[in-house]
Chain A
Amino acid sequence: MNRLKNKKFIDKIITFFIIIVAYVVTDVLNNMGMVPSLISGLLVSFCTYSIIAVALNLVVGISGELSLGHAGFMCIGAFSSAIFTRYMKFLGVENIYIFIIAIIIGALVSALFGFLIGIPVLRLKGDYLAIVTLAFGEIIKNIFNAIYLGYDENGFHVTLKSASALKLKEGGFFIIKGPQGITGAPRYSTFLIATILLFICVFVIYNLIDQKTGRAIMALRDNRIAGESIGLNVTKYKLIAFTISAAFAGIAGVLYAHNFHTLTASTKNFGYNMSITILVFVVLGGMGNIRGSIISVVVLTILPEILRGLEGYRMLIYAIVLIVVMIFTNSPFVINYRKNLKLKFNKAKGVKHE
């Protein structure tokens, strides 16, 4: 009994340890100027994508539902928080507390939408669920791409038509200017804050898995009919997983929004491409493997940057690396080969000891 508890516990501790060590080492090296600018510019992105990959892992790996709309939740978190911070900046308030409130806003709004979208979507199964989440993700992105939000002495104005349709009075300003998005949201996202948020995310999801709610979520993934036969409410547990996942996707969005000067809801940022990229992180890191998701984010984010020198061949090599890693981690042949190798290695070690 205790052995298993310990195994889960040790797994958790190792992950926390890796995050902290990675942060400290990178930060020290960064201060000494030993980190290439190429990577130091990516530090917040590592955390942002790690958070959303871990969040998606909760839905795909732990809950067993394929969601292709997580970039949409990231988009909601990004815009809802940036609207708030941009407005606060207009009022002349810019400090860390504003950012903390923004994080909470991003998480809550995204969780709310996760909950509302989850109610109809989670009644579907498998491929159908994937397609519908994909559609919702696109809808969300397109709405933020089309919306105009402005503020003047008469308060807030919203329209989907055009900038002039807002009829802002003099002294007013645009918060969201259609496809141009939000400009000038404060750049609050630092490597430290991003790491803390990643830490919280990992902490919450590990502790969610290793408790009765998490067990119910995994049980329903393994066998829905048996789960119902022992009294587990399918909708309830799927919704819990989906909502918590959406909340962390929202937090990733908050980090994303406050990492750059401008925030646009373009296809590149929040489109289905992004959702697929996040899914690649999760699948490559291993379904249900939290630490794996984070490691695969770091590797797959650095890789294209390192390969930049190869220009035209860059994405080709990226794709080949993906294929090789997938085969190496998932092909039964290679898994057996690795097992044998491990056995041999252990034997060799055993002989040495004697």
Chain B
Amino acid sequence: MSNEIVLNVNSLSISFGGLKAVSDFNIDIKKKEIYGLIGPNGAGKTTVFNLLTGVYKPEAGEILLCGENIVGLDCVSINKKGIARTFQNIRLFSNMSVIDNVKVALNEHYKYNTLQGILRLRKYFECEKKMDEEANNLLKVFSIDDLANVTATNLPYGKQRKLEIARALATRPKLLLLDEPAAGMNENETKELMETILKVRDEFDMTILLIEHDMKLVKGICERLTVLNFGKVLSSGNTNDVLNDKEVIKAYLGD
């Protein structure tokens, strides 16, 4: 693992009304690392994701993506800078086919304009062919390429999760945020998901930050962890150390 830092967040804070949803949040994630963000319900984990992706604007703090401050940018620009995400409740383009879900995320990387597309000029066919290839390769990584023509909403739950990750990867991000990827999955599906996440890291040299409640998954693949409680960092460091931290156990199990 290299020591290049992909994401560096310093004293990030936001409050809704009087409630400090996240305060003084710090994190730094190295390239090709799988980093876990855990904490009890309502601890502010998804709020952190929303701050990182520009859904909310932080009141204080800085977010450095590969050294560049991205605070204040909107969702669209932040995605272009290189952060892609999945959602806690799956958000696919449900009436579109599986492959179109991925192809639409490739939009930024293939340049032809609307008119060339309408008139079906050569550029259109060239780009579409390359898009098909790249989208198909992505689907193959998740072994859902045989379902390319199925409408997304008809996919089984586990495969919808996979498709969402494939779509996020299609934007060619530097950092991938996964919001509870194993939610609602059974043991086998979770196991498969863990393999998929490791595969994504290795094949795409991807840096991954994930929120998860499933401790098996967290122990299995996360190298480092940060625990949030009431919007504050309770503990962070190597997975095993953090999970044995007395404060963390207290937060999860009570006194």
Contacts and interface: CB of A to CB of B under 8 A. Distances in A.
B107 to A, nearest CB: 5
Contacts of A229: 53, 75, 79, 84-85, 87, 91, 168
Contacts of B131: 212
Contacts of B119: 207
Chain B, interface residues (CB within 8 Å), range: 35 or more
Contacts of A215: 96, 100, 103-104, 107
A11 interface: no
Interface string B51-68: 001000000000000000
Contacts of B167: 226, 230
A218 B95 contact: yes
Interface string A176-210: 00000000000000000000000000001001100
Interface string A79-122: 00000000000000000000000000000000000000000000
Interface stretch (B19-27, B34-42, B108-116, B247-255): B108-116
Given A1-B136, A215-B104, A230-B105, A222 B96 contact: yes
A3 B149 contact: yes
A228 interface: yes
Given A223-B91, A226-B93, A231 B108 contact: yes
Contacts of B53: 229
Contacts of A211: 112, 114, 117-118, 124, 128
Given A1-B149, A213-B117, 16 more contacts: A211-B112, A211-B117, A219-B101, A222-B92, A222-B94, A223-B92, A223-B93, A228-B74, A228-B75, A229-B85, A229-B87, A229-B168, A230-B168, A230-B170, A233-B76, A234-B76
A7 B99 CA distance: 14
A240 interface: yes
B134 interface: no
Interface of B: 53, 74-76, 79-80, 84-85, 87, 91-97, 99-101, 103-105, 107-108, 110, 112, 114, 117-120, 124, 127-128, 131-132, 136, 148-149, 167-168, 170-171
Given A207-B117, A230-B171, A222 B95 contact: yes
A230 to B, nearest CB: 4
B25 to A, nearest CB: 21
Q: Which of A1, A204, A229 has the most B CB atoms < 10 Å from its CB?
A: A229
Contacts of B94: 222-223
A219 B80 CA distance: 17
B104 A208 contact: no
Contacts of A228: 74-76, 79
A207 B116 CA distance: 10
B97 A4 contact: yes
A261 B106 CA distance: 51
Contacts of A234: 76
B107 A216 contact: yes
A231 B136 CA distance: 20
